[in-house]
Amino acid sequence: MKISVIGCGYLGVVHATCMAELGHEVVGIDVDKSKIASLSEGKPTFFEPGLPELLASALASGRLTFSEDIGRAADAQVHFIAVGTPQTGDTYAADLSYVNAAVTALLPHLGAGDLVVGKSTVPVGTAEMLHAMITAGSDASLAWNPEFLREGFAVADTISPDRLVYGIAAGTATGAGNAEAILDEVYAAALAEGTPKVVTDFATAELVKVAANAFLATKISFINAMAEVAEVTGADVTQLADAIGYDARIGRRFLNAGLGFGGGCLPKDIRAFMARAEELGVDQALSFLREVDSINLRRRGRMVDLVNEMLDGSAAGKRIAVLGLAFKPNSDDVRDSPALDVAVRLVELGAIVTATDPEALETARRKRPELTYVATAEEAVRDADVVVLLTEWSEYRELDPTGISTLVRGAVIVDGRNCLNPARWRAAGWTYRALGRP
Q: Rounded distance, CA 333 to CA 330, Å?
A: 9
Find, among 407, 395, 342, the residue nearest to 371 by Cα. Answer: 342
Q: What angle do CA 345, 350, 354 make, to 5 degrees?
A: 70
CB of 226 to ligand UDX, least distance (A): 12
Q: What count of residues does the chain have? A: 438
Q: Which of 151, 206, 236, 332 binds ligand UDX (CB under 6 A)?
A: 151
Strands 164-168 and 412-415 come out as: unpaired
- Interface with ligand UDX by CB under 6 A: which range of 58-66, 143-151, 177-185, 277-285? 143-151
Among 119, 131, 328, 368, binds ligand UDX (CB under 6 A): 328
Applying CB under 6 A, which of residues 72, 250, 254, 378 lies at the interface with ligand UDX? 254
Q: Report, in Å, the least distance between residue 222 CB and ligand UDX.
A: 10
Active-site residue, 419 included: no
Q: Binding pattern to ligand UDX, positions 197-236, x when CB under 6 A?
A: ----------------x--x---x----------------
Among 96, 266, 364, 413, binds ligand UDX (CB under 6 A): 266
CB of 249 to ligand UDX, least distance (A): 17
Q: Is 261 in the site for ligand UDX (CB under 6 A)?
A: yes
Task: Choose the stretch contacting ligand UDX; rule: CB under 6 A; options: 44-52, 194-202, 259-267, 402-410.
Answer: 259-267
Q: At what angle do helices 202-233 and 287-310 cross, to 10 degrees?
A: 40
Closest CA to 68 of 28, 98, 22: 28
Q: Are 80 and 115 in contact (CB under 8 A)?
A: no
Question: What is the residue type of 437?
Answer: R
Among the listed residues 342, 243, 245, 343, the one whose alpha carbon sits nearest the alpha carbon of residue 298 = 342
Of the listed pieces 64-72, 149-157, 186-194, 408-416, which binds ligand UDX according to CB under 6 A? 149-157
Size of the site for ligand UDX (CB under 6 A): 20
The answer to whether the Cα torsion of 419, 423, 425, 431 is positive or negative is positive
- Distance, in Å, from the CA atom of 237 to the CA atom of 435, rounded to the nearest integer, reads 8
Cα dihedral across residues 237, 243, 245, 247: positive or negative: negative
CB closer to ligand UDX out of 114 and 269: 269
Near ligand UDX by CB under 6 A: residue from 148, 235, 244, 410: 148
Q: Which amino acid is at 193?
A: E
What count of other Cβ atoms lies within 10 Å of the Cβ of residue 233?
Answer: 9
Q: Does 66 bind ligand UDX (CB under 6 A)?
A: no
Catalytic residue among 8, 18, 265, 419: 265
Which residues lie near ligand UDX (CB under 6 A)? Answer: 147-151, 213, 216, 220, 254-256, 258, 260-263, 265-266, 327-328
- Positions marked active-site: 265
